[in-house]
Amino acid sequence: MAGQVPAKVDIIGASSELNLNLDHTRLMGNPKIDVPLAELRAEALRALGACTAADIDGWLARYLGRKGELTLALRGIAERPADERRDFGAAANALKDELEAALARRVEELGGPAKGSVEALDVTLPGRRSLQGRLHPTTRTIRDITSAFSSMGFQVVEGPEVEYDHYNFSALNIPEDHPARDMWDTLWVDRADADGRRRMLMRTHTSPMQARIMERQKPPVRVVVPGRCYRYEATDATHEWHFHQVEGLAVAEGITFADLKGTLLEFARRIFGADRKVRFRCDYFPFVEPGVDMAIDWKGRWLEIMGAGMVHPRVLSGVGYDPERYTGFAFGMGVERIAMLRHGIDDIRQFAANDLRFLSQF
């Protein structure tokens, strides 16, 4: 390439005299081709001669860049009359080589390549790996939990995060002004009905979907409901004001507490390992009777991972199910808590902190 640049061309003082030294003029028999390319050449060399180091990138873009004048001229070859194409192509390519060589020399004169210019491109450097996205640990945990249940015949359903207090509380056997409402500190939506009462809130748990699903569907019901929940809560390492739960509900004829135990034991073994033991202890939740908390054995201790119980007859009759005929069990667990156990995470606030040092570990 350098050989095509006449050594005596002084690109700094580029002038009409340069045309005489054109190597490629030999190829340019056609004046229609000659004129624009020769003009382009003269103009480009003159501009290059006037460039300071800071102008080099602009010059490169203007003449040789993707939308540069010479590049466009080269691209226009196809539109030229057939008998001109060959000569024009050869001339334009020769000019391109010449301009590149002139550029290299100009850059040299100006004291070496500036950052970002062509000469700064070292094609022998190893490539940069492009960043690959991945699923958030909460999403992955939700998928692990729901697929454990869907392989046992549960459907996966989602529900609204802004909920009526009816579904969040009343339909779950937590009447208005009942002290049990204090178990869940609530964020209310600031929108009052005509009677001045606020009825909408950010759901405090995924349990409201129990009633919504049963209202829509006849038994048998077997669903798990993953989703985000909210509480009016001061945050610390184990409390967040927003977090995720997975709710479960199975209702049909003849379901017993043994079904609850068998299903949740199987779940614990799929998520936490085949030898996992579980423990059920009595607990109180207004929408189940009896209610339990389930713990798993973990490094020599019992760790509670979810609440569960047999669906309260009042919840069943509230949605029009006959509690004499149908029975069922329900359960609810905190997703972040399960992810924290599995991965040894010690602060629940990490999940929403959006810190890549944390997220890229999963």
- CA–CA separation, 281 and 261 (whole Å): 12
Q: Count Cα atoms within 13 angstroms, Cβ side, for 214.
A: 29
Task: Name the minimum Å distance from CB 302 to ligand DAH.
Answer: 17
Q: C-beta of 317: minimal distance to ligand DAH in Å?
A: 17
Judged by CB under 6 A, which of 288, 294, 316, 348 binds ligand DAH? 288
CB of 292 to ligand DAH, least distance (A): 8
> In whole angstroms, how close is the CB of 309 to ligand DAH at the nearest point?
4
**259-274 b/e (C-beta count within 10 Å ≥ 16 → b):** bbbebbbebbbbbbee
Establish if 186 lies at the interface with ligand DAH (CB under 6 A).
no
The least distance separating ligand DAH from the CB of residue 356, rounded to whole angstroms, comes to 31
Rule CB under 6 A: choose which of 247, 272, 339, 350 binds ligand DAH.
247
Tokens at residue 309, please? 């119980």
Contact yes or no for 188/198 (Cβ under 8 A): yes
The answer for residues whose C-beta is within 8 angstroms of residue 121's C-beta and 6 or more apart is none
Minimum CB distance to ligand DAH smaller for 68 or for 332: 332
Q: Are 349 and 121 in contact (CB under 8 A)?
A: no
Measured from the CB atom, the residue of 285 and 351 that comes closer to ligand DAH is: 285
Q: How far apart are CA 142 and CA 335, in angstroms?
A: 7
Amino acid at 180: A
Q: Of 201 and 330, which CB lies nearer to ligand DAH in the complex structure?
A: 330
Give me the residue label for tokens 């178990």.
Answer: 183
Q: Within 293-332, which residues bind ligand DAH (CB under 6 A)?
A: 307-309, 330-332
Is 207 a residue that touches ligand DAH (CB under 6 A)? yes
The answer to whether the Cα torsion of 36, 39, 40, 41 is positive or negative is: positive
Closer CB to ligand DAH, residue 69 or residue 266? Answer: 266
Burial of 123 (0-12, 13-18, 19+ CB in 10 A): exposed
Residue 305 beta carbon to ligand DAH: minimum distance, rounded to whole angstroms: 11
Binding of residue 244 to ligand DAH (CB under 6 A) = no
Closer by beta carbon to ligand DAH, 5 or else 333: 333
Q: Applying CB under 6 A, which of residues 205, 212, 244, 312 lies at the interface with ligand DAH?
A: 205
Q: Which of 285, 321, 326, 351 binds ligand DAH (CB under 6 A)?
A: 285
Given the complex with ligand DAH, which of 87 and 138 has the nearer CB atom? 138
CA distances from 354 to 135, 245, 357 (A): 13, 20, 9
- Residues forming a β-bridge with 236: 239
Instruction: Compute how many residues bind ligand DAH; rule: CB under 6 A.
Output: 11
Do β-strands 288-298 and 221-230 pair in parallel, antiparallel, or remain unpaired? unpaired
Which positions are annotated as active-site residues? 184, 205, 231, 245, 288, 330
| Residue 305 vs residues 2, 3, 292: alpha-carbon distances, Å | 74, 77, 11
Where does this chain bind ligand DAH (CB under 6 A)? 205, 207, 247, 285, 288, 307-309, 330-332
